[in-house]
Structures are given as structure tokens and as C-alpha cells.
Amino acid sequence: MENEAMEMIEMLYSMVAEAKRMPLAADKVVIERDAVLGLIEELRDSLPAQITEAKRLLSAKEEFIANAKREAEQIRKTAEDKARMLVEEEEIVKIAKMRSQEVTTTTEQKCAELRRVANAYVDDAMRRTEEAIMAALEEVRGSRTNFRSAAGVTGSAPKAAPQPRTGGQQTPQSFEVMTVDEFDDEE
């Protein structure tokens, strides 16, 4: 899912970077509107899927904890039932109370451990999802800034400066500006 979003951002960037320049307007390019809008729509559609996945993980965590609580309650009830059956004899009662306490303690420890593991797993999954969404957003902002710079568009700047990517790929920070004569020579 994350790779799809990144691929779409790369395709958008390539479309703008490789677009043919307009004659007599070196800072303007011609791009296929439908292709760019299609990619933007796909990107917009894929981000809610990542958010849905994070919500699903949160729901799974809550269900996991509820199951652990039910299991702990069942173990506790089983221990109490066994203890009641052994009430007849004092020695057996003492042993049953000790065992019941051990089972309760063990169950509480297991429940706490299951809760800790579930919380850590969901937190990690949500962190990775958040990082993927933030990376995609930063790339879109960076591409938008580069596009605006290349196209000479003025207006409101993005609210947050894009952070450089650390995945080994470098995003160009500027475009080469050509004169009309240089543009004609390339053709």
C-alpha cells in the first residue's frame, strides 16, 4: 500500500520533470491533465486505505485485550470452582487457596503481558503507518514546491517545509532554466 503511494508520487514527479516546455515560456510545461488528475485521484484514494488499516489494527488490539480479559475471567472462575469443591477438608482448602492465588497471579501477569505486547504491536504498526503517510505528504509537498518553482507559480507556500528523504533516493531541488534559443536547439 505504501509502495503504491510512493510510486504514484514518483510518476507525478516524472511527468512534471519530463514534460515538454512551452515555446517562448521556459518556465511552463505541457502535461496531460487527465493523466496527472488520475494519479492524484489514485493517491487520494490510497491514503484512506492506510488510515483504515490503522483503525483496523486499533480495533484488533481492543478485541485482543477483550479476549485476554475473557480468558482471564474464565481461568479465575475455574480456579474458584475448584477451590469450592475442596472446601470439605481443611488441608485441601489451604492447598486450593494457594493454587487459586497462584492461578490468579499468573493470569494477571499473562493478561498484563498480553496487553503490553498488544499495545506495543499496535503502537508500532500505527507509527509505521503514520511515518508512511507523513513521508508521502512530505513528498507531495516537495513535489508541489518544485512544481511551483519550475512553473513560476506564486501563491501560498506549503505550511511545513518538506524534509529530505532518507531512503537513498534524492529529490531534485531545482530545475534547469533554458532560454528560448537553448530550447529550440534541443529540438
Q: What is the pLDDT of residue 170?
A: 47
Per-residue pLDDT of the chain (187 residues; tens, 9 = 90+): 556 777 878 888 888 888 788 777 777 888 888 888 888 888 777 777 767 777 888 888 889 888 988 998 999 898 888 777 766 667 776 788 889 999 899 999 998 998 899 899 999 999 999 999 999 999 999 999 999 888 776 555 545 555 555 544 444 455 555 565 565 555 5
Domain residue spans of the chain: 2-15+26-150
- Cα distances from 86 to residues 82, 92, 100, 124, in angstroms, run 7, 6, 11, 46
Measured CA to CA, the distance from residue 10 to residue 16 in angstroms comes to 10
How does 45-65 read in b/e, with b if 16+ C-beta sit within 10 Å? ebbeebeebbeebeeebeebb
Q: Please work out, in degrees rounded to the nearest 5, the angle formed at the alpha carbon of residue 139 by the alpha carbons of 169 and 17.
A: 75
